[in-house]
Amino acid sequence: MARRLFGTDGIRGTANLEPMTPETALRVAMATGRVLRRGEHRHLVVIGKDTRLSGYMIEPALTAGFIAMGMDVELVGPLPTPAIAMLTRSLRADLGVMISASHNPYEDNGIKLFGPDGYKLSDEIETAIEARLDEKDGRTHAAELGRARRLDDAGGRYVEFAKSSFPKRLRLDGLKVVVDCAHGAAYKVAPTVLWELGAEVFPIGVAPDGLNINRGCGATSPQAMSEEVVRRGADLGLALDGDADRLIVADEAGRVLDGDQLMALIALEWHGAGRLAAAGVVATVMSNLGFERRLAEHGIKLTRTAVGDRYVVEEMRRNGANLGGEQSGHIILADDATTGDGLMAALQVLAAIVQQGAPASRVCNQFTPVPQLLRNIRHDGGVPLEAPRVRSAIAAGERRLGAGGRLLVRASGTEPVIRIMAEGEDDRLVAEIVGEIEAALREVGNGAREQAAE
């Protein structure tokens, strides 16, 4: 069966247009109940969300669907995606649901589903849910309907969970830290965690109004965080995205550091402490060659996967790795969490700074990146990558880069965008190749238009 709703990270789309309508959310909840109900016990679902206005529409629709299937619901309100994964396990729930479109603008929203183990549902289960969307059976008897309640201390539970990943003997006393919460799900918990560990905290992006999530702030727009670091004379800046599963950092000079640099730092710290699993690190095809070479200097293996944190997690589970992530800032610390957690990753970076007693510019800049250019081309449908003109341009680019470079051109799994990434020692050649592929995409007549790279 072809998947119509689920992409690489759940369901996502423009709010109040299909598939992100209350009608479809209701059907998804009921279909999920049909697929996942097992046995006679009272089934429990944990539902969280970020701060988008449309969350008020999607949350009750999902709740009604689960209740109609005889499943109880715990509503936890705005919390990071990793908090929902954690609470699903902690509460022994049968399902966790996060209502969020992550780093996308407020107009979009999404639905991410977690199993009782805290991991995102497999492609097979998501496909089974889609197959049962239009069924009418399975509704429970009126006396057996589910119930819903608010879990008032959910934020506090996550704060303690996040703090537990920070070395017990350390504190952040004396450190000035800027944290940009993107007006998103971590706007309360992230500053609280940092403050309770002793940091002097300068929070920005902590005034959500339902419409400003990720707008000019957060991990996809780190300039505001970087400027605040310089203005405050801070030691470090942390930028999370709308659902706080990504992290981007700025050092004391305001220089922005991506997920590759942060993974390199954590990998080398853990390797030195004997904590890094023998399987090494798992990252995606987007991670920089400089990152791979830095790990190789220390005999650390890098395994690459397709783009998407779920594929990183799947490979980590398969080969026993305990560290993985994406250049975009998804970092998975498998000893503590089942999905990317921007706040926990930030605590690992802060721990390294405290232990080394050195500025972030020295601690976090782990390698010199190989010149890499990313470009996102939005299109209006069709399959532009199958056009002969585009395929020819890609093949020509691969030949020109040769063995010393890499070229990746792919369709996004969450939005109508073609992503082009070229990497090589000659930055002018890299730019030429990306430009030629972009031109070919425009020529095929799919209404492609450039979008700022994430």
The catalytic site residues sit at: 102
Q: How many CB atoms lie within 10 A of CB 66?
A: 26
φ, ψ of residue 374 in degrees (nearest 5) = -115, 135
- Name the 3-class secondary structure at 436: helix
At CA 186, angle to CA 45 and CA 238, rounded to 5?
140
Q: Token pair for residue 267?
A: 């990998």
Q: Token pair for residue 196?
A: 């309770």
CA distance 263 to 294: 11
Burial 299-330 (b: 16+ CB within 10 A, else e): ebebbbbebbbbbbbbbbeeeebbbbbbbbbb
- Residue of 392, 416, 12, 344 whose CA lies nearest to 165: 344
Tokens 């780190």, located at residue? 222
Q: Token pair for residue 201?
A: 């905290």
Q: Token pair for residue 208?
A: 């959500």
φ, ψ of residue 338 in degrees (nearest 5) = -105, -5
φ, ψ of residue 240 in degrees (nearest 5) = -100, 165
CA distance 259 to 175: 22
Q: How many residues are there in the chain?
A: 454
DSSP 302: E
- Name the 3-class secondary structure at 169: coil
Q: Token pair for residue 317?
A: 């589970």
Tokens 């954590």, located at residue? 266
CA distance 332 to 342: 9
Helix count and strand count (H, E) for the chain:
14, 20
Largest CA-CA distance found in the chain, in angstroms, rounded: 69
CA distance 435 to 438: 5
